[in-house]
Amino acid sequence: MKPSNQSAPFGTETSLVTSGRDTAAQKGFVNPPVVRGSTVLYPTAEDLHEHRGEYQYGRHGTPTTKALQQALQALEGPKCAGVGLAPSGLAAITTALLAVLKSGDHLLVCDNAYRPTRNFCNGLLARYGVETTYFDPLIGAGIAAHFKPNTRAILVEAPGSQSFELPDIPAIAKVAHERGAIVLDDNTWATPLYHRSLEQGVDISIQAATKYIGGHSDIMFGTISANAEAWPLLTEGIRLLGVCAGPDDVFLALRGVRTLAVRLAHHQRSALEMARWLATRPEVVNVLHPGLESHPGHAIWKRDFTGASGLFSIVLKPAPQKAVDALLNTVRLFGMGYSWGGFESLVIPFDCSSYRTATAWSPGGPTLRLHIGLENVEDLKADLSRGFDAFNAA
């Protein structure tokens, strides 16, 4: 599946807008139709016997899924051999793991990984005879010490979506490849626009496209991009599992891709401004944002990423729960809810110590995760200022 502009010398923003567009097939319309389809008719018995034709069955692809896959493949860059689509981010992660692992294998997972990913490893994968070991996200080449003869895969998340440690992916990938293991990256935070995982040595790059790819808090979606080594295994796994995505969600994901560059640039700018402002607040003892010079992962971020998105965390000075709740109940522009990556700002309290096993989590105070949306930044500061007033008064 070649993106239409694979060899064109375009910048990424142009590629986001032009890739996956087959204007002639779309009868001149800029966007592809939402193709709803299970059955694909074959013109002759011979075509049927040989499964000839661009499309064979709805689950295996439609003109709508093809347009999205081409656009995402162009975004991932030349190392990407194909993109699989899944009905949620978590389904993308579990599908990728099931595709590469077998009973008796050993899996290494970053201790800052998305909690439902851990639940899947500790639950279903354990039942199917796959053993998981969690490791310190900052381990780098020290990952070698965790290898067993049956270590088959490593899953990293860069950065962790609550605690924001940045693993050294090239160092981890080098060790993995010397030992024949596959590297998977949950790349949801930066998206391939700001972090081309596949070029950093990752074999399978996963997106919870529910977040920035969709970008409007209106779909559940996941994507799985693989390099040439991992693509045959991945595509086989997707076929065997019967994983596919609904046509409306595919269309909305593609619409999100078209505006990804402008949205992320805005999220990045506003989030950095908010992070710097929060660092000056007396109520805040630490800001966990890799784009800040003070962040322990800043050097890795500068080396491996071309941007930061709108999600980061803050550590408040020690305070009773009712003070934190007063802040949460006072802010109005920061909605309280799970997920992120849409146009709206969000705030959620979290506590990594409830699930971590390989590393300690003692941030020094209550922790809040913020998603900085597309609102006016001064409005967001004023909103949080009111929240801090309530925090101090409680």
Ligand X SMILES: *Cc1c(COP(=O)(O)O)cnc(C)c1O
Q: DSSP letters of 334-353?
A: SEE-S---SSS-EEEEE-GG
Strand-pair partners of 207: 223
- Considering the rule CB under 6 A, would residue 88 count as an interface residue with ligand X? yes
Site for ligand X in 104-143 (CB under 6 A): 114
Distance CA 255, CA 249 (A): 10
Window 293-332: contact mask with ligand X (x via CB under 6 A): ----------------------------------------
Site for ligand X in 207-226 (CB under 6 A): 208, 210-211, 220, 222
Name the catalytic one among 168, 185, 186, 304: 186
Is 186 marked active-site? yes
Q: Which helix (H) or strand (E) holds 208?
A: strand 204-208
In sequence order, which residues have a C-beta less than 8 Å from that of residue 23 and are 6 or more positions away? 29, 30
Is 128 marked active-site? no
Q: Give least dist CB 161 to ligand X, A.
A: 4
- Considering the rule CB under 6 A, would residue 334 count as an interface residue with ligand X? no
Judged by CB under 6 A, which of 76, 111, 136, 186 binds ligand X?
A: 186
Radius of gyration of the chain (CA): 22
Distance CA 354, CA 372 (A): 25
Phi (first) and psi of residue 293, to 5 degrees: -60, -25
Query: Which residue, 292 or 348, is less far from ligand X as judged by CB?
Result: 348
Query: Which residue, 137 or 222, is less far from ligand X as judged by CB?
Result: 222
Is 47 marked active-site? no
85 Ramachandran zone, left/alpha/beta (phi>0; psi -120 to 50) = beta
Phi (first) and psi of residue 86, to 5 degrees: -135, 155
Is 59 marked active-site? yes
Name the catalytic one among 66, 79, 105, 114: 114
Name the catalytic one among 21, 118, 211, 356: 211
Query: Which residue, 162 or 330, is less far from ligand X as judged by CB?
Result: 162
Residues involved in catalysis: 59, 114, 186, 211
Binding site for ligand X (CB under 6 A): 88-90, 114, 157, 161, 186, 188, 208, 210-211, 220, 222, 339
